[in-house]
Amino acid sequence: MTTMTQTAPLVRVEGVTKRFGSGDKEMVALSGLNLEVREGEFLSLLGPSGCGKSTALNIMGGLLTASEGTVTFSGEPLTEPSRNIGMMFQQAVMFPWRTTLENVLLPVEIFGEKKKDFIPKAEELLEMVGIRDFRDSYPWQLSGGMQQRAALCRVLLHDPKLLLLDEPFGALDEFTRESMNQELLRLQDYATSTAVLVTHNITEAVFMSDRVAVMSARPGRLVDIIEVPFDRPRRPELQTSTEFIKLVAKARQMLELQ
């Protein structure tokens, strides 16, 4: 991934601090976070629960504003959500009154574009994640994993330049989670977008990412960044290789040393 270092960063987070509440109840979630997300890369934010990694992600998505510091996206200051940024949450957030296809088409509907124009693409995406047969089913007729697949299609429908993923598969069981991660890598490659994943799973972070940003416990700050040099596409067998295990151990050590 040496070529990546030459491209300008897609997102630049500079000295971002986030405080919630005030006075005695003040809580510092993030403290002076500096981070760059490069165009086309897959970056993980790895840290213990409550280290402010979700807060950092929400600031990058424009859902929260930083108390101090700046965030730029494509060189422009970012202060509110952008339609070039797609977000995925821990829950699939499927509307139960809409069919799978209608849920996937939601962004287009909100953008005021013609839904009909996007149906072929929506169906292609559903096909890619293997749930095209369920396009007319309602979310409550689908399993949790299938719902997250649909959510993945929804976020990719409008080709966001940046994907922000807040532990999207955290609520799924281990097996489903692993296959969803594969799915995600495949689709990110297909959509040629940049992705930032928030996770507290070390193996997952290393397996998925080009770089892993390790964060400290509250108040969250950046400890170090680990470069993950493995080729893509990555096969699950990679996780048993010595190099992989070494990187995982390195990340674990960083987390424990704090």
Partner 1 sequence: MTRTEVIAQIAIDSSPKKKRWLKSPYLLTAALLPIILSIWWLATTVTNSVPAILLPTPESVWAAFPRVLGANGFSTQVLTTLTEIAGGFALGATIGFFLGVLLSSSRRLRAAYLPFLSALEAIPTVILAPIIIAWIGFGVEGKILQAAIACFYAVFITTLSGLGLAEPNAVNLMKSLRASKWQTMVKLRIPTALPVIFGGLQLGATTAIIGAIVSEFIGATGGLGYLMLRYRSGFDTAAYWVIIFLFLLIGLVVYLTIWYIERRFVFWRRSEVTRPDLEKQ
Residues making contact with partner 1 (CB under 8 A):
58, 61-63, 80-83, 85-87, 89-91, 93, 95-97, 106-107, 109-111, 130-131, 133-134, 137-138, 140-146, 173, 175-176
Rounded to an integer, what is the distance from CA 241 to the centroid of its chain?
Answer: 25
Q: How far is the CB of 95 from partner 1 (least distance, A)?
A: 7
- The answer to whether 228 and 247 have CB atoms below 8 angstroms apart is yes
149 secondary structure, DSSP code: H
| 106 vs 238, beta carbon nearer partner 1 | 106
Q: How far is the CB of 1 from partner 1 (least distance, A)?
A: 28
| 127 vs 224, beta carbon nearer partner 1 | 127
Q: How far is the CB of 145 from partner 1 (least distance, A)?
A: 6
| 83 vs 232, beta carbon nearer partner 1 | 83
| 151 vs 254, beta carbon nearer partner 1 | 151
Q: How far is the CB of 153 from partner 1 (least distance, A)?
A: 14
DSSP string, 66-131: -SEEEEEETTEE--S--TTEEEE-SS----TTS-HHHHHTHHHHHTT--HHHHHHHHHHHHHHTT-
| 49 vs 97, beta carbon nearer partner 1 | 97
- Residue 233, judged by CB atoms within 10 A of its CB (0-12, 13-18, 19+), counts as exposed
Q: How far is the CB of 90 from partner 1 (least distance, A)?
A: 7
Q: How many helices, marked H, and strands, marked E, lie in the chain?
A: 8, 10
Cα–Cα distance for residue pair 221/30, rounded to 1 Å: 6
